[in-house]
C-alpha cells in the first residue's frame, strides 16, 4: 500500500447510482454518463461498478484481480451439475493459474486461419436460414434467424453432424438459463442440458483421440502435450463453456446490429459499400455490447487511484458505460459506423481473460450481415423491438420485427 492510498472502499466513499430494477440497460447508460463526471467507480444496486474507460481497461488486465470463483453459483443455490459447470467449465470463474492452463489449450482452436476457413460455412448457414424466411413479411430477425444461426456456427466449429444439430441446439438454449436469476426454477432444464452435453462431448473427445482429424476438438486435444494435460472433465467443461459463451452473446449482438443500422438510416449506406461492414460490426459492439458486465474479485488488499480495495471485493467492470466514455469516443452515444477508432471498445474485455471467440464472433456477424444485405435491399422497422425486462448482464433485442417494403 502506498502513502497515496488515503481511503478504504466503503459504501460512502463513492457515489451511488440508483438503477431501478425495471430500468432497461439503454437508459442505465444515461445515469452513468452523469456519474462518470464525478468518479471512475460507483455503487449501484448490483455492487461496485467501474464506469470509466481508462479504469476499466487498466483493471481488466490487473493481476491483483481474478475471476469470481465457483462460490458465485453456490450462493445462488446451484445443483450438483451446476457446481460441476462452475468448477470444471466456466472459464470466467476458474481462478489462476488453472484458468491460464485451460485457456492456452483452447486458444489452439481459435487461430485466425481456422476462423477464416469457416467463412464459407457461416455464409451457407446464414443463406439457408434467410432462404427459409422467403415468404415472410414482416419477419422477426431474432425468432427467424439469430435464435438458430450461432448454434449452426458452433456445431460447424465443433464438428457436430447435421443430424445432431436440433438436439445439440436445445441443450445449448437450456444452458443459457445459467444466466437467469433466480436460478432455482430453471435447474431441471439446466441439469438435463449439462448431463446431455457432457455425454455428447465425452463421445466427441473419444472419437478425436482415436482418429485425430483437423477439426476444432482435435486441435485442442492435440495441444495438450504442449500446454500441460487437461483432465477429461476440464476438456469436456471447456467445450461446454464455449456453448454458453458463444450462443446468446452472438445471438443478441447480431439482432442489435441490424436494429441499429435500420433505425439510424445506415442500411443503404452500408449496402452500397461492403468495405464499411467491419466498421458497422465494431460500432454495434461498442454502443450496445451484448454482454457488458465483467466480474472480478480482489485477490489481495490493493490500492488503485488512492482508494484501497480490500481482498475479496467484487468489482463489476461495466463495458457498456466504459464504451460510452467521451474521453475515449467523441459523441459517444451516437451510432456512427464510420468512426476512426473502431475496435478500441472493451466489449470483449482485454488481457488474460479476453474473449477467446472474438474473432469468430466478429467474422460470424460480418458474414451474416453480408447475406442480409444481399437479400434485403430495403429494410424498415415493422414495430418496436422487445428488450429484455429489467437489468441483465445480457443486452440486446428479444424480437425485431422488420419489413422488406419501406413505408412511404
Ligand atoms: C458478440 C459476441 C461475444 C461477446 C460480446 C463476448 C464477450 C465476452 C466477454 C466480455 C468475455 C469476458 C472477458 C473478461 O472477463 O475479461 C468473454 C469471455 C469468453 N468468451 Fe466471448 N463473447 C462473444 C462471443 C464468443 C464466442 C462466439 C465464443 C466462442 C465460441 C466465445 C468464447 C469465450 C470464452 C471461452 C471466454 C472465456 C475466456 C477466458 O476466461 O479466458 N465468446 N466473452
Cell of 138: 414482416
CA-nearest residue for atom 7, ligand 1, is 348
pLDDT at 293 over 60: yes
Q: What is the DSSP string of 304-332?
A: ETTEEE-TT-EEEEEHHHHTT-TTTSSST
Mean pLDDT of 16-25: 69
Provide the pLDDT confidence category of residue 346 given band limits of 50, 70 and 90.
Answer: very high
The pLDDT assigned to 395 comes to 85
- Tell me whether residue 391 is in a domain: yes
pLDDT at 251 over 80: yes
Distance, CA 291 to ligand 1 centroid (Å)?
9
**Residue pair 405/378 in contact by the 8 Å Cβ criterion:** yes
Mean pLDDT of 101-115: 92
The pLDDT assigned to 26 comes to 52
CA distance 292 to 347: 7
pLDDT at 20 over 70: no
What is the tens place of the pLDDT at every residue in 302-338? 999 999 999 999 999 999 999 999 999 999 999 999 9
pLDDT at 107 over 50: yes
Q: Given the CA of residue 154, which atom of ligand 1 is nearest to it?
A: 30
Mean pLDDT of 28-53: 89
Provide the pLDDT confidence category of residue 1 given band limits of 50, 70 and 90.
Answer: very low
Within 6 Å (CB) of ligand 1, which residues are found? 60, 91-92, 103, 241-242, 245-246, 249-250, 253, 289-291, 294, 347-349, 353-357, 360-361
**Does 274 or 390 have the greater pLDDT score?**
274
pLDDT at 363 over 50: yes
Mean pLDDT of 207-211: 82
pLDDT at 35 over 60: yes
pLDDT at 87 over 50: yes
Lowest-pLDDT choice from 53-67, 189-203, 388-402: 388-402
pLDDT at 98 over 60: yes
The pLDDT assigned to 13 comes to 84
- Tell me whether residue 408 is in a domain: no
Provide the pLDDT confidence category of residue 22 given band limits of 50, 70 and 90.
Answer: low
- Tell me whether residue 2 is in a domain: no
- Tell me whether residue 286 is in a domain: yes
Enclosing H/E stretch for 242:
helix 232-246
In 3D space, the residue among 285, 300, 264, 296 whose CA is nearest the CA of residue 357 turns out to be 285
Enclosing H/E stretch for 249:
helix 248-263
Distance, CA 325 to ligand 1 centroid (Å)?
22
- Tell me whether residue 56 is in a domain: yes
Could you give the angle at the alpha carbon of 317 between the alpha carbons of 353 and 337, nearest 5°? 85
Q: Which segments of 176-231 does DSSP mark as H helices, in order?
A: 187-210, 216-222, 224-227
Mean pLDDT of 380-390: 86
Distance, CA 134 to ligand 1 centroid (Å)?
32
The pLDDT assigned to 343 comes to 75
- Domain coverage including residue 77: 7-403
The pLDDT assigned to 23 comes to 53
Q: What is the DSSP string of 338-392?
A: T-SSTT-S-TT--GGGS-TTHHHHHHHHHHHHHHHHHH-S--EESSPPB--SS--
Provide the pLDDT confidence category of residue 21 given band limits of 50, 70 and 90.
Answer: low
Distance, CA 398 to ligand 1 centroid (Å)?
20
User: Cβ contacts of residue 98 below 8 Å, gap of 6+?
Assistant: none
**Does 59 or 73 have the greater pLDDT score?**
59
CA distance 142 to 90: 26
- Tell me whether residue 224 is in a domain: yes
Q: Given the CA of residue 254, which atom of ligand 1 is nearest to it?
A: 1
**Does 174 or 209 have the greater pLDDT score?**
174
Give the mutation target among 348, 351, 393 for probing the ligand 1 site: most ligand atoms within 8 A of CB: 348
The pLDDT assigned to 6 comes to 64
Distance, CA 394 to ligand 1 centroid (Å)?
12
- The secondary structure of 93-139, three-state, reads CCCCCHHHHHHHHHHHHHCHHHHHHCHHHHHHHHHHHHHHCCCCCCE
Distance, CA 367 to ligand 1 centroid (Å)?
19
**Residue pair 203/95 in contact by the 8 Å Cβ criterion:** no
Torsion of the alpha carbons at 200, 194, 291 and 86, rounded to the nearest 10: -120
The pLDDT assigned to 2 comes to 46
The pLDDT assigned to 3 comes to 45
User: Averaging pLDDT over each range in 101-105, 138-142, 234-238, which range is the top one?
Assistant: 138-142
CA distance 67 to 98: 11
Mean pLDDT of 343-367: 95
- State the residue for C-alpha cell 468512426: 339
Q: What percent of the chain has pLDDT over 70?
A: 93
The pLDDT assigned to 46 comes to 82
- Tell me whether residue 1 is in a domain: no
**Residue pair 141/248 in contact by the 8 Å Cβ criterion:** no
User: Cβ contacts of residue 320 below 8 Å, gap of 6+?
Assistant: 25, 28, 29, 32, 288, 289, 292, 293, 395
Give the mutation target among 316, 343, 355 for probing the ligand 1 site: most ligand atoms within 8 A of CB: 355
pLDDT at 225 over 70: no
The pLDDT assigned to 24 comes to 57
Q: Give how many domains the chain has, as a whole number.
A: 1
For residue 38, give the DSSP letter.
Answer: T
- Tell me whether residue 59 is in a domain: yes
At 401, give phi and psi (nearest 5°): -80, 125
Mean pLDDT, all residues of the chain: 89
What is the tens place of the pLDDT at every residue in 147-162? 999 999 999 998 888 8
CATH number of the CATH domain containing 83:
1.10.630.10
The pLDDT assigned to 71 comes to 83
Amino acid at each position: 500500500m502506498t502513502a497515496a492510498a488515503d481511503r478504504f472502499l466503503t459504501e460512502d466513499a463513492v457515489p451511488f447510482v440508483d438503477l431501478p430494477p425495471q430500468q432497461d440497460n439503454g437508459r442505465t447508460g444515461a445515469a452513468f454518463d452523469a456519474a462518470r463526471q464525478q468518479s471512475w467507480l460507483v455503487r449501484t444496486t448490483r455492487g461496485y461498478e467501474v464506469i470509466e474507460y481508462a479504469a476499466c481497461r487498466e483493471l481488466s488486465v490487473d493481476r491483483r484481480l481474478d475471476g469470481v470463483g465457483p462460490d458465485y453459483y453456490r450462493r445462488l443455490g446451484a445443483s450438483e451439475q451446476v457446481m460441476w459447470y462452475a468448477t470444471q467449465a466456466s472459464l470466467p470463474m476458474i481462478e489462476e493459474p488453472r484458468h491460464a492452463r485451460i485457456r492456452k489449450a483452447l486458444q489452439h482452436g481459435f487461430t485466425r486461419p481456422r476462423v477464416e476457413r469457416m467463412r464459407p460455412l457461416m455464409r451457407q448457414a446464414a443463406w439457408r436460414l434467410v432462404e427459409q424466411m422467403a415468404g415472410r413479411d414482416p419477419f422477426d430477425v431474432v425468432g427467424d434467424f439469430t435464435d438458430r444461426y450461432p448454434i449452426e456456427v458452433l456445431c460447424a466449429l465443433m464438428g457436430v453432424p447435421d443430424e445432431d444439430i436440433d438436439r445439440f441446439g436445445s441443450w445449448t438454449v437450456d444452458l443459457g438459463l445459467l444466466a437467469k436469476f433466480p436460478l432455482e426454477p430453471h435447474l431441471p432444464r439446466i441439469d438435463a442440458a449439462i448431463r446431455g452435453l457432457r455425454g455428447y462431448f465425452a463421445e466427441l473427445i473419444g472419437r478425436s483421440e482415436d482418429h485425430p482429424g483437423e477439426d476444432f476438438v482435435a486441435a485442442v486435444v492435440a495441444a495438450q502435450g504442449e500446454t500441460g494435460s487437461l483432465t477429461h472433465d476440464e476438456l469436456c467443461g471447456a467445450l461446454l463453456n464455449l456453448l454458453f459463451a458463444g450462443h446468446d452473446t452472438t445471438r443478441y449482438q447480431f439482432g442489435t446490429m441490424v436494429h441499429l443500422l435500420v433505425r439510424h438510416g445506415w442500411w443503404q449506406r452500408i449496402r452500397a459499400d461492403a468495405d464499411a461492414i467491419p466498421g458497422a460490426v465494431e460500432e454495434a459492439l461498442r454502443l450496445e455490447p451484448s454482454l457488458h458486465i465483467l466480474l472480478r474479485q480482489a485477490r489481495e488488499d490493493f490500492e488503485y487511484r488512492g482508494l484501497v480495495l480490500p481482498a475479496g471485493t467484487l468489482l463489476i467492470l461495466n463495458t457498456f458505460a466504459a464504451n460510452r466514455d467521451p474521453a475515449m469516443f467523441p459523441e459517444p452515444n451516437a451510432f456512427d459506423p464510420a468512426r476512426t477508432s473502431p475496435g478500441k471498445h472493451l466489449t470483449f474485455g482485454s488481457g488474460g481473460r479476453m474473449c477467446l471467440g472474438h474473432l469468430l464472433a466478429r467474422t460470424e456477424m460480418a458474414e451474416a450481415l453480408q447475406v442480409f444485405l444481399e437479400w434485403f435491399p430495403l429494410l424498415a422497422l415493422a414495430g418496436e423491438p422487445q428488450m429484455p425486462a429489467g437489468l441483465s448482464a445480457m443486452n440486446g433485442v428479444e424480437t425485431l420485427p422488420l419489413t422488406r417494403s419501406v413505408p412511404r
